[in-house]
Structures are given as C-alpha cells and as structure tokens.
Structure 1
Amino acid sequence: MRSPYLVGVFLAAGNSKRMGQNKLALPLKEETIGSLSLKTALLSRLDHVLVVERTKHASLEWIGSPYQAPPFQKRWSLHVCPDAEKGQGHSISSGVRKAESMGADGVVILLADQPFLTVDHLNALVALAPESFAVSSFLGAFTPPIYFSSACFPYIKGLKGDEGARRLLKSGKLGAGAVLEAKGSGELEDIDTPEEYDMVRRVMA
C-alpha cells in the first residue's frame, strides 16, 4: 500500500494590509518571515509545497536564494491565484484545485507568516493523514496548519471571499477529525502588525 501523496498549500498571496508593507519580506533571524515559514514546510514530510502567490514574481521579494537552489528547488513550485485579492478563500480554493490536479491524496493548509511553526509539529500533523481532517490547536483555539483529505476537497473548492478553512471545521460537513495540540502558544502565532513584528524582533534580539 502506497503512502498518501500530500501537498502543502502555502498561502502567501495576502496583501499585508495591517502591516502596511509586504510582511513576508521583512527580515527575521537573518532570513525573512516568509522564508522561515517556507523552510519548515520544505524540511517536513510533505511531498511537495505549492506557494500560492498573487503574481509570478511576487515570491522573489521574500524567498531566499537557498530555497531557489538544490536540494530545495524541486520541493516546491509557484502557483499564481488570479483572484487572490478577493480574499483568502480564493487562494485556498485555487491551491487545492492545483494540488488535486497533481494527484494529491490530501493537503495541508499553511500560512506564510507563521515563522515559529516547527517541523516536528508539521510532521505530527502529516502523520494524522488517514483522518478526514486534522487541525492545529492551542488551548482550544483552532488555527492552521490544517490537514484535509481528498474527501474534503469538494467543500474546500467552494470557499470564496474571506472564508477560511476553519469555517468548514465548524460546519460539521467534514465528519470526524483530529486535533493536534501545540506545545506552546508561540509556535502557531502569525505576524500581522508592526507591533507584533517589533515584539518578535525584541524577543529574538
């Protein structure tokens, strides 16, 4: 029996409105917020990572040169979502459609602004692949990364506007799933505002 083919749908097409500039390109730990998040996905047990962006060249602002060369360059590919400006739901739907066309048995929805997510947590989520879905959580709050089996694809492909994947979990349409509790609150935090970015830089200084 073959192992399921799992694709990461890495959401990098946001407009960083609350940050006021492209937050994925902001420096952090001698890299960028976006490249640190991507590195975790590339080092995980995911079979491939789809970087969902607004335009063909947008990722050049934040993906560092190490990830555009061997051994990483074959681990990911760029997927442009033409409707990304209409909301995250369109990026998720578009990414899942592309993953489905690649023969994916399941996807993991990832945020490009979660630089503290660990490979261990992501691998533990991947290990839950036989489930219908598996969602990350801290103290009862659900958040990406989220695994969805191919049985969930018809529902995910219907997302529009600012609808996120978490809405589907609350709908009850996806059946039984699993919850993976994070070891600490910081691991699942994303960075949205200048204040959050400044705080992270001070902590890591």
Structure 2
Amino acid sequence: MSLPDATGCHAIVLAAGAGSRFGGGKLLAPFRGRPLIYWSVAAALSSRVTSVTAVLGARADDVAAALAPFADRRLSLVRCRHWEEGLSASLTYGLRTLPLDTRAVAIFLGDMPDLDPGLADRVLTEVVGGAPAAYPECRGLPGHPVALSSELFPLIESLKGDQGARAVLAGQSGVIRVPTDDPGSIADIDTRHDLKRLGP
C-alpha cells in the first residue's frame, strides 16, 4: 500500500544507544558489507516520508560517518545529549526536532536491518486515515516501524527510561495492527549471535 499523501509525514531512526548487550559499537558492526545502522536508515529513506531524522548518541561521530554515503537531502542527523537516560530520551528528542505541521511519524529502530521498506508507508497510511497509531504485526508479535499521530506526541513526552512508543499505545483505542509476513519487522539485533543469525 503506497502512502497516498506524504505531506507532513516524517520518519525517525533511533540510533543513540551504546549497544551494551552487544559489547558496544553495535550500530557500527559490519552487516552485509555496510555498518548495521545503514540498513535501517535506507529502509526509512525508501518510504515516501518528507524527511528522515536519525537521532545519534553513543559514538555519534562514528555513526554520522557511517551514514555519510547517503546523499539524500531528506536525511538529517541530530545528537541527543541525554541519550544515556534511555530510549525515551532519544525518542522525545527526535519528536521535538520535527516541523510544527507534522501529521504523523514512523519510528524506526537502528538495529533492525531487514525491514520491508513498504511497511512504513502502510502504517503511515493508517494514521493519515485517522488512526492514532499503527504498527506491523507478524506471527502475532508487534513489530516496527510504529507510526504515530502527532496528537500522541504529548503522551510520548511523559515516557521515562527505556520505554518506547508501545508503552503509550497500550492505553489507546483505535490503534491499527497491520498484518505482515515480513520477519524483518520483528527481528532486531541485541547480541553478536543475533548478528550472525541474521547475516547472509
């Protein structure tokens, strides 16, 4: 499903964490010939969103260098000084960088390299159509990217620590689950074993 009107639709890629369970440097780890973070950003840029914002934190200079090959003017990099406070800090910081006329945003995680690029457009289409949020569901499990209406942004601001958008969605009615057969929507990389398992 192609997003019919991408006006006011944006994407955020959360790429601020240190990857402690991985042993550090997770987003810079080689994966299919590129740094791991490259693939999430590529998926976001493959959607019809107006802009893609990558929120950096740990080893920000190195992650920025890893994204230098992208020549797409829609991509911007921002640095969250409080990234060590958890996922919620980088998520809320990213939302604050969006234009005032934002209607919806798709949230990508930097450690999910196998996402179907079309999923962002599908979940955003649901939000543009009136849903407060939408997310992919594969094998009965919730996945990414999660799309949020700007109406939920104030609630996101209340999150703390490693809470993500899903903590807010649990209390919302009308959230749309978008069925998908794409295992990449639920496959993130936490450890080096995960990296080998998802590799070529």
Contact 1:116 1:188 in 2 (8 A): no
Please, which runs of 5 or more residues in structure 1 have no aligned partner?
none
**Aligned residue number for residue 154 of structure 1:** 154
Contact 2:11 2:105 in 1 (8 A): yes
The 1:18–1:3 alpha-carbon spacing in structure 2 relative to 1, beyond 3 Å, is closer
Paired amino acid for 2:155: Y
Structure 2 distance, partners of 1:189, 1:37, is: 12
* Aligned with 1:26 (options 24, 29, 41): 29
**Aligned residue number for residue 167 of structure 1:** 167
Contact 2:7 2:50 in 1 (8 A): no
**Aligned residue number for residue 177 of structure 2:** 179
After TM superposition, the structure 1 = structure 2 runs for residues 12-161 of structure 1, keeping only pairs within 5 Å, are: 12-54=15-57, 57-63=61-67, 65-67=68-70, 69=71, 72=72, 74-99=73-98, 101-128=99-126, 129-130=128-129, 131-161=131-161
**Aligned residue number for residue 197 of structure 2:** 199
Q: Partner of 1:152: helix, strand, or coil?
A: helix
For normalisation by structure 1, the TM-score amounts to 0.87
TM-align CA RMSD: 1.8
Q: Partner of 2:145: helix, strand, or coil?
A: strand
Structure 2 distance, partners of 1:144, 1:156, is: 17
Structure 1 distance, partners of 2:14, 2:89, is: 10
Q: Partner of 2:88: helix, strand, or coil?
A: helix
TM superposition shift of 1:57 = 2.0
TM superposition shift of 1:21 = 2.4
Structure 2 distance, partners of 1:199, 1:178, is: 30
TM superposition shift of 1:185 = 2.3
TM superposition shift of 1:32 = 1.9
Contact 2:104 2:124 in 1 (8 A): no
Contact 2:139 2:181 in 1 (8 A): no
Between 124-133 and 77-86, the greater mean CA deviation after superposition: 124-133
Q: Once the two structures are superposed, what CA deviation does each residue of 1:51-74 show, in whole Å capped at 9, x if it has no partner?
A: 0011652423532x430x3xx1x1
The 1:187–1:152 alpha-carbon spacing in structure 2 relative to 1, beyond 3 Å, is closer
Structure 1 moving runs of 4+ over 4 Å: none
Between Structure 1 and Structure 2, how many residues are aligned?
193
TM superposition shift of 1:102 = 4.6
TM superposition shift of 1:10 = 0.7
Structure 2 distance, partners of 1:192, 1:17, is: 9
Contact 2:105 2:147 in 1 (8 A): yes
Please, which runs of 5 or more residues in structure 2 have no aligned partner?
none
